[in-house]
Structure 1
Amino acid sequence: MSILISSGVIVIAIAIANILAKFTPGISNTYINLAMGILLGLIPFTDKLILDFNNEIFMFAIIAPLLFFEGQGTRNFTVRTQAKTIIGMSVVLAVVTAILVGWSINLAFGLVFPFTLVMAAISTPTDATAFDSVVEGRKIPEGVGNNLKMESLFNDATGIILLAAGLTWLQTGHLSFGLNVSNFLISAVGGMVFGGVFGYLVMLFRQMLVRTKVNVISSQTIIFLLTPFLVYYFAEEIHVSGIIAVVCAGLISNSEASRSRFSSSHQFHLGTQLMLFISEVLNSFVFVTLGITLVRIVRDNFHEITDSLDWLWIGIIIYLVSLIIRFAYAKFIIHNTVNDAVVFALGGIHGAVTLAMVFSVSSQVVGKTNYDLLILIETIVIILSMIVPTILFKFILPGIPDDSDILKQVDEIRDEMVKRGIACVNEMDIDKNVRKSVIYDLRDQNTKNGMRDFLHQWRAVNQNRFNFDEKQRLDERRALMYAFDVEREYLHDVSLEHRFDNNYLYALHSEILLSESLVLDPINQQD
């Protein structure tokens, strides 16, 4: 029951934060969610309702589906053609960064190298979601953005293996290079194979169902939603990387979706909408949770924070050394321009997985003092990795052109579109009550109906004033279809003028088609 209450409080906070974000267009949703999490942590009543952070549940319930959906949004072909670059960024760059960062902290502060390696390993994974938030409203070079996305999809496993190596070294005093390399290969390659095979078998099963008379959309949707959880759980059970497994299963699902979207259009549309909805909620969940956790970290470690500033300087050094290494890798290995190399360096943003890895070592780091120090250091790394690029990208990256004028024109087109649809309905010889109902529905396309109009219609429905007979229902459908045809014809004429990107007009076309499906499709109709 506690976990339901805790999750419920966070989900309500997400809903409120995302509404508030509409009033602050210059600030990313991520920061609003982060602020909402901090507020929840500061209020004693809500803080008590929310459970302590559990890294295993977090990885299983939040990160696994997020990475699965991220993989599903990535083309298999892209991964295959960039395999060498991906391995370089997610393995070579991650290992080199961890070693050099750990060595730098070892020299500067005299901490034992195994412990500094643990620090560096935890700050290895990067977060594509956090990166998207800091570049919102900025135009990022396509190649750099793609590299950062690929890196974040695959470098989590490297960080986890490095962390395991550092912890073993810290606890036993010995580092087995051969064993760690073999563990990495087993974990990474095993995760790829398991995720690919599992995803392939699920795809075959789902496609066999789709192409038979026993296909059930609800069952298919359940299988789709359960896939990332099952992949992650079983991968971890056989001791391979659950992170890489869910990414690879998602990649398989991407190829499936591109070649089966019309075999069951209802199922595909529902799956797409659920994926977008769940991804948005889980992304927000990550940052609300991060905000709550940051408040608790500061509160629980207040004495350590005030007694010494070593945690602050170590966190800053980890971030700066990582920046230098990432810049050098992008400039001299990937051969980016200086500007692109700077963007790549700053784009290594840390978030959810780093947070989960910190809490995963609570029972394995020797001494509470070391663990408290570790938490504070990684908190600084996370905060710096988000704040610094948010500020610098405003000077480095060009802003996305303001499309407010275009959107105003699109609204004018929408108004004219609806106006023409209503005009054609007024010319039809149909019952006046049917005409009123149809015109109300058409006016809803551009939200011209106010609350008074809605409440009037709502009362009319409750009083059964729209209880049309069969002929009236047929006229209502016919009138709406005729209006939609007129609206589409108008949009086609506008598209021939080539005034702006047709994607804006495609969005209007899509709205009309969705409205049309509500009229014609028996599954979508409501009596």
Structure 2
Amino acid sequence: MNIYISSVAVFITVAIANLVAKFIKVIPKTYINLLLGIIIACIPVANSLIVQFDSETFMVFIIAPLLFLDGQKTRSIMVRRQFKDILGTAILLALISAVVSLFTVTSMFSLTLPLALILISISTPTDATALDTVREGRKLPKRTEIVLKMESLFNDASGIILLQAAVLWYKTGHLSYAQNIRAFLISAVGGVALGMAVAFIIMVLRQKIMRSRWNVNYSNIVIYFATPILIYLMAEKLELSGIIAVVTAGLVFNGEVSRTRFSTPRFQSFFNTATDFIGDLLNSSVFVILGLSISRIVVEHKHDLAADLSWLYIGIILYVLSLAIRYLYAKLIAQNSQMESITFTLGGVHGAVTLALAFSLVGQGFTGHIFDLILLVETVVIILSMVVPTIAFKFFLDPELDEDDIRMKSRKIREEMVRVGIAYVESLQISPAVKESVIFDLNDQIQQTTIKDFLSQWWGINNKRYIFTGFQAVEERQILMSAFEEERNFLYDQLDGVALEDSKHIYEVYSEVLVSESMAVSDND
């Protein structure tokens, strides 16, 4: 029961954070999620509602679906084009960082080589979601943005393999390079093969069902969202990379989504809305959980925080080393420009996966002072990797299109469009009740209806005043469709000669009119 209460508490926090973000626009939404997570942990009653962080549950039910959805949004041709960069960032950069950091950290602090490698391995995975937070409202160089996204999709596996090798070294005192390289290749290649094979089979079965008389769309979507969880669990059971398996599965599904847009358009529209909703919910939940966990770590280890500051110094050194190595890699090996090198350097943001790897050590027998040190060091790395680029990007990255400006343009074009639709309806000689109902619906497109108007319509529905039958029902539907057509013609005229970048808000309004029209056509009440 606790897990259900915890889930509800986290989701309610996400909802509150999204509402708060509407009013506090200077702070990115994900930082508000993070802050609310911290606040919850500081309130004993609220904190008691949420169970302790469990890395396995977190990876299976949050990270795996998120990476699957990220993979599904990525074209496989993009992965083929960026294959060299993927190998470079996910393998070569990870290994260089591990070797350089390993000997630097052990020479500066009284850490054993295995323990130092554990710390370095955990801070290897980067987080695309966290990156979107720190660069919010700023334009990254296009090449850097693509490389950072590819890195975050695939370097989780590198961190996990390195961590497994480090833990084995810590426990046995031996590090087998050949064995670890072989394990990495088997894990990575096996993860790709499993993810591709299982995703392909599920995709064919879903498509077969969709094209048969046995099709049930909602069963199809349940199968879709269960796919990453199933594939991740299968891969981990076979000791393959569950991360790479779900990312590969997502890439397979990308082609399916783009080629079935019009076979079941109503379902596809719902499917797109559902995937966006689930993705946003999980993304926001990650930061609530991250804030909650960081706050709990600080509270539970407050005596260690003040008694010995080695955790702080190690965390700072690890982060500074990662910046230096990333910059040199981007400049000397990847041959990036100065701006691309700087943005790639700062774009290595760490987040929830890093924390999950740290907590996974509990199941491997790490307790006491050593585990506390690991948790605190990784917390410092996560916080620095988010705070530093958030501040730095504001100084040398150009702002993206002003969201408020886009919103204002969208609002203005929508109001003009609705005036055109209402003017058309006003010019018609039709039943007053039908005219009033249609004008209310059109005004509702711009929220120009008051609570009083709504209650009047609601009362009319309950008293059958606005329940039309026979000719009036046909008349209402036809007039709504004609009004929407007038609105679409107006929007189409606005698109004439407008550049694609400047027309996005018009297309967004246009798509909403099409959805409204489809609802009018299918309305059986």
Instruction: State the TM-score, normalizing by the size of structure 2.
Output: 0.98
Pairing 1:67–2:75 present: no
CA shift for structure 1 position 143: 0.4
Pairing 1:255–2:255 present: yes
Which SS does the other structure have where 1:281 is aligned? helix
Pairing 1:513–2:514 present: yes
Which SS does the other structure have where 1:53 is aligned? coil
For residue 204 of structure 1, what is the aligned residue in structure 2? 204
| Residue identity in the other structure for 1:511 | E
For residue 308 of structure 1, what is the aligned residue in structure 2? 308
Deviations 1:333-352 (A, max 9, x none): 11111121111011000001
CA shift for structure 1 position 225: 1.1
Deviations 1:144-173 (A, max 9, x none): 000000000000011000000001001000
| Residue identity in the other structure for 2:82 | Q
Contact 1:167 1:365 in 2 (8 A): no
CA shift for structure 1 position 410: 3.3
Contact 1:86 1:151 in 2 (8 A): yes
CA shift for structure 1 position 282: 0.4
For residue 446 of structure 2, what is the aligned residue in structure 1? 446
Instruction: Trace 1:409-488 onto structure 2 (pairs within 5 A).
Output: 409-488=409-488
Deviations 1:166-203 (A, max 9, x none): 01001000011111111111111100000011111111
Contact 1:365 1:371 in 2 (8 A): no
CA shift for structure 1 position 332: 1.1
Contact 1:315 1:380 in 2 (8 A): yes
Inter-partner Cα distance in structure 2 for 1:69 and 1:345: 25
Which SS does the other structure have where 2:445 is aligned? helix
Contact 2:72 2:254 in 1 (8 A): yes
Instruction: Trace 1:295-444 onto structure 2 (pairs within 5 A).
Output: 295-364=295-364, 368-402=368-402, 404-405=404-405, 407-444=407-444
Change (3 A) 1:9 1:526: farther
For residue 23 of structure 2, what is the aligned residue in structure 1? 23
Which SS does the other structure have where 1:22 is aligned? helix
Contact 2:196 2:248 in 1 (8 A): yes
- Deviant stretches of 4+, over 6 Å: none
CA shift for structure 1 position 403: 5.5
Most deviating of 28-37 and 394-403: 394-403
Pairing 1:138–2:173 present: no
For residue 273 of structure 1, what is the aligned residue in structure 2? 273
| Residue identity in the other structure for 1:291 | G
CA shift for structure 1 position 526: 5.3
Inter-partner Cα distance in structure 2 for 1:399 and 1:128: 19
**Identity score, percent:** 47
Inter-partner Cα distance in structure 2 for 1:498 and 1:367: 62
Contact 2:409 2:505 in 1 (8 A): no
CA shift for structure 1 position 362: 2.0
Inter-partner Cα distance in structure 1 for 2:469 and 2:10: 47
Inter-partner Cα distance in structure 2 for 1:526 and 1:392: 55
Contact 1:75 1:255 in 2 (8 A): yes
| Residue identity in the other structure for 1:221 | I
| Residue identity in the other structure for 2:507 | Y
Inter-partner Cα distance in structure 2 for 1:295 and 1:416: 49
| Residue identity in the other structure for 1:426 | E
Contact 2:125 2:350 in 1 (8 A): yes
For residue 115 of structure 2, what is the aligned residue in structure 1? 115
Contact 2:413 2:506 in 1 (8 A): no
Most deviating of 458-467 and 380-389: 458-467
Inter-partner Cα distance in structure 1 for 2:332 and 2:518: 54
CA shift for structure 1 position 368: 1.2
For residue 163 of structure 2, what is the aligned residue in structure 1? 163
Change (3 A) 1:414 1:391: same
Most deviating of 400-409 and 420-429: 400-409
Contact 2:457 2:466 in 1 (8 A): no
Inter-partner Cα distance in structure 1 for 2:363 and 2:248: 31
Which SS does the other structure have where 1:110 is aligned? coil
Inter-partner Cα distance in structure 1 for 2:422 and 2:357: 58
How many residue pairs end up in the alignment?
524
| Residue identity in the other structure for 1:370 | I
Inter-partner Cα distance in structure 1 for 2:210 and 2:470: 34
For residue 32 of structure 2, what is the aligned residue in structure 1? 32
Deviations 1:225-282 (A, max 9, x none): 1111111111111110111000000000001111111111122212211110001000
Inter-partner Cα distance in structure 2 for 1:498 and 1:91: 44
Instruction: State the TM-score, normalizing by the size of structure 1.
Output: 0.97
Change (3 A) 1:466 1:124: same
Deviations 1:269-315 (A, max 9, x none): 12211110001000111110011111110111111111111000000
Most deviating of 260-269 and 120-129: 260-269
CA shift for structure 1 position 90: 0.5
Most deviating of 234-243 and 313-322: 234-243
Inter-partner Cα distance in structure 1 for 2:399 and 2:365: 44
| Residue identity in the other structure for 2:258 | S
- Uncovered stretches (5+) of structure 1, i.e. residues with no partner: none
Which SS does the other structure have where 1:448 is aligned? coil
Inter-partner Cα distance in structure 2 for 1:428 and 1:293: 62
- Uncovered stretches (5+) of structure 2, i.e. residues with no partner: none
Contact 1:125 1:353 in 2 (8 A): yes
Most deviating of 258-267 and 54-63: 258-267
For residue 505 of structure 2, what is the aligned residue in structure 1? 504
Which SS does the other structure have where 1:91 is aligned? helix
Contact 2:131 2:349 in 1 (8 A): yes
| Residue identity in the other structure for 1:100 | V
Inter-partner Cα distance in structure 2 for 1:56 and 1:228: 14
| Residue identity in the other structure for 2:450 | G
CA shift for structure 1 position 110: 2.5
For residue 213 of structure 2, what is the aligned residue in structure 1? 213
| Residue identity in the other structure for 1:220 | N
Which SS does the other structure have where 1:362 is aligned? helix
Inter-partner Cα distance in structure 2 for 1:413 and 1:85: 42
Inter-partner Cα distance in structure 1 for 2:426 and 2:399: 46
